[in-house]
Amino acid sequence: MNLSIIGAGYVGLVTAACFAEAGNKVLCMDVDQSKIERLQQGVSTIYEPGLSEILRRNQREKNLFFTSDIEESIQKSDICFIAVGTPMNIDGSANLRNVFNVAESIGRYMRNDMIIVTKSTVPVGTNHKIADIINCELIKRECYFDFHIASNPEFLREGSAVEDCMHPDRIIIGSNSEKAINIMKELYSLFANNDSLIIMDIRSAEMTKYAANAMLASRISFMNEMSQICEKAGADIDLVRLGIGSDSRIGPHFLYAGCGYGGSCFPKDVQALISMSQHLGYTPVLLEKIEQVNHTQKHVIINKITHRFGEDLSGYTFAIWGLAFKKNTDDMRQAPSLTIIEELSKRGAHIKAYDPQAIQNAKTKYLRHIRNIEYAENEYEALIEADALVLVTEWEQFKNPDFDNVRQRLKNRIIFDGRNQYNGKKLAELGFEYYRIG
Ligand code: NAD
């Protein structure tokens, strides 16, 4: 099939690569010219395990192309996927400008019947607005083409996006068009069997994405709240996690206390769901608390640091292990590291940071405004002359470090563990002062 994917970000690029790998002809389009130039040269613009190889192979085999020309991408395809960003407005609602711009272009440039599929996370009712916009443009052109709308929310996880795309738990298709549903079934037949396809109406599909993210965020905030109570009560959140996670009604996933959730999805999608509910006249008390707990949790490590070193941190240096919002990605959107580093910097601390993939993003975008920061070549270099180590992201390479090496390099043997990765008893035997969550 001839597909166009509009938006070459974490979702669009991975989707384009995986559909090309499945034997389709894919044209991936983005407004960011420099991104497209790099992709055309075979350079992946994001870090995602396994992605570079698939991109290169499919470009070589002429299954996958990149363009910044929206007209070309619409006219060369039968199925158009919208995978552009839907960032958060100041009031928390989803900003749909990108999505509606694409819809306008589709209406303006389409010259054959098409299936339009929305992968971007959008509030309930958005796909109907997309259809209205396309219709409106077609009326202006005084021409008629048949088009079918489908909502196909994306559930891939950054860090395992290729694997998730190729082997999804389930695929949601929201559409009232039999034609669109049948084509989507065929398109996904290489990735999933019929049992993992869930067909529903468009509004329910749009809502499913928000409900899924709110549920996952609620589990994290629940455990973070439990961790606070554990600290006060003298209980151990990790033992509590094992205790409740073994209950088949609860299950073990997303029960890890830490320094708060981040990323491009949970914070923005919970906020967008709150905003959408409010517009519908409903006050979503639970959702508001999920976000409130998360906001508080991002400050827990800082509170532990100031409790240990005092409010004025000038003269102290902190080694930060991990900048990405989670392991195996270079994405720093809403990462807990941002709050921690900003709070340290505000108090005059010097920061030595290391992350296996996110340093470039930190330097050029997210931490450009921080003056008292330097970046290390590796995790051990970040420790030299530091007063404490702060573990922020759970990268595998930080899991079992050489603690003798850590001990030798740190000025003070102090570790703040924002991900509960280490064994406190073992560290105490090695002479470390160890602080964790819960
Ligand atoms: P992203 O910011 O990484 O990428 C979005 C891309 O869209 C950018 O490259 C941008 O230049 C491009 N773009 C913006 N306007 C455009 C336009 N008019 N025409 C063409 N390109 C345009 O975003 P992302 O993380 O890939 O997320 C995309 C959507 O998928 C969002 O709605 C997000 O909520 C959702 N989503 C993201 C994830 C994830 O893990 N990142 C998972 C599931 C769903």
CB 330 within 8 A of CB 324: yes
- CATH number of the domain enclosing 231: 1.10.1040.10
Domain count of the fold of the chain:
3
Residue 246 CB burial class (10 angstroms; 0-12, 13-18, ≥19): exposed
Q: Are 77 and 219 in the same domain?
A: no
Nearest atom (ligand 1) to Cα of 102: 18
Residues 429, 308, single domain; the answer is yes
**Residue at 215 is within a domain:** yes
Size (the chain), residues: 438
For residues 77 and 217, state if they share a domain: no
Please give the number of the atom of ligand 1 that sits closest to the Cα of 265: 34
Q: Clarify whether residues 282 and 322 are in a common domain.
A: no
Give distance in angstroms: CA of 327 to centre of ligand 1.
20
CB 87 within 8 A of CB 15: no
Residues 6+ apart with CB under 8 A from 151: 117, 118, 122, 127, 172, 173, 174, 175, 202, 205, 206
Asked if residue 149 is part of any domain, the answer here is: yes
Instruction: Confirm whether 390 is domain-assigned.
Output: yes
What's the gap in Å between 112 CA and the centre of ligand 1? Answer: 26
Are residues 156 and 19 part of one domain? Answer: yes
Kindly report the pTM of this predicted structure.
Answer: 0.95
Domain end, chosen from 296, 327, 354, is at 296
Closest Cα to atom 41 of ligand 1 = 10
Ramachandran region of residue 2, left (φ > 0), alpha (ψ -120 to 50) or beta? beta
- Assign residue 15 the CATH number of its domain: 3.40.50.720
Distance 118 CA to ligand 1 centre (A): 11
State the distance from the centre of ligand 1 to the C-alpha of 380, rounded, in angstroms: 35
336 alpha carbon to ligand 1 midpoint, in Å? 21
Q: Structural domain of residue 159, as residue ranges? A: 2-200
Of 131, 166, 200, which marks where a domain is finished? 200
**Token pair of 393, please?**
């992201």
Cα(218) to centroid of ligand 1, in Å? 24
* pLDDT score at 299: 98
Residue minimizing CA distance to atom 30 of ligand 1: 120
Return the ∠ at Cα 21 (arms to 18 and 27), rounded to 5°.
Answer: 75
For residue 257, tell me if it sits in a domain. yes
Atom 8 of ligand 1, nearest CA residue: 9
Pick the residue whose CA is nearest to atom 10 on ligand 1: 7
Instruction: Examine the residue annotation and report whether 143 is marked as an active-site residue of this protein.
Output: no
Distance 264 CA to ligand 1 centre (A): 9
- Note whether 378 and 252 are same-domain residues: no
Identify whether residues 21 and 52 lie together within a single domain: yes
Of all protein residues, the one whose alpha carbon is nearest to atom 1 of ligand 1 is 9
Last residue of a domain, one of 281, 296, 311: 296
pLDDT of residue 190: 87
Q: How far is residue 43's CA from residue 52's CA, in Å, rounded to a whole number?
A: 7
Best residue for ligand 1 mutational test, from 104, 154, 160 (most atoms within 8 Å of Cβ)? 154
- Assess whether 314 and 252 both reside in one domain: no
**Cα–Cα distance measured from residue 430 to residue 288, given in angstroms and rounded to the nearest whole number:** 42
Cα angle for residues 415, 417, 420 (degrees, 5° grid): 140
Residues 7 and 20 in one domain: yes
Q: Given this model, what pLDDT does residue 138 score? A: 97
Of ligand 1's atoms, which has the minimum distance to the CA of residue 105? 18
Ligand 1, residue 35: give the atom nearest the CA. Answer: 9
Sequential pLDDT tens for the chain (438 residues): 899 999 999 999 999 999 999 999 999 999 999 999 999 999 999 999 999 999 999 999 999 999 999 999 999 999 999 999 999 999 999 999 999 999 999 999 999 999 999 999 999 999 999 999 999 999 999 999 999 999 999 999 999 999 999 999 999 999 999 999 999 999 999 888 878 999 999 999 999 999 999 999 999 999 999 999 999 999 999 999 999 999 999 999 999 999 999 999 999 999 999 999 999 999 999 999 999 999 999 999 999 999 999 999 999 999 999 999 999 999 999 999 999 999 999 999 999 999 999 999 999 999 999 999 999 999 999 999 999 999 999 999 999 999 999 999 999 999 999 999 999 999 999 999 999 999
Q: Are residues 291 and 302 both part of a single domain? A: no
Give the residue, by CA position, lying nearest to ligand 1 atom 23: 85
Residue nearest to atom 15 of ligand 1 (CA): 98
Pocket of ligand 1, candidates 27, 69, 84: which has the most ligand atoms within 8 Å of its Cβ, to mutate? 84
Q: Do 188 and 223 fall into the same domain?
A: no
pLDDT for 80 equals 98
Q: What pLDDT does 222 receive?
A: 98
| Atom of ligand 1 lying closest to residue 121 CA | 32
Is 205 within a domain? no
Task: Identify the residues whose C-beta falls under 6 Å from ligand 1.
Answer: 6-12, 29-32, 35, 83-86, 98, 101-102, 119-121, 154, 156, 158, 264-265
For residues 281 and 305, membership in a common domain is answered with: no
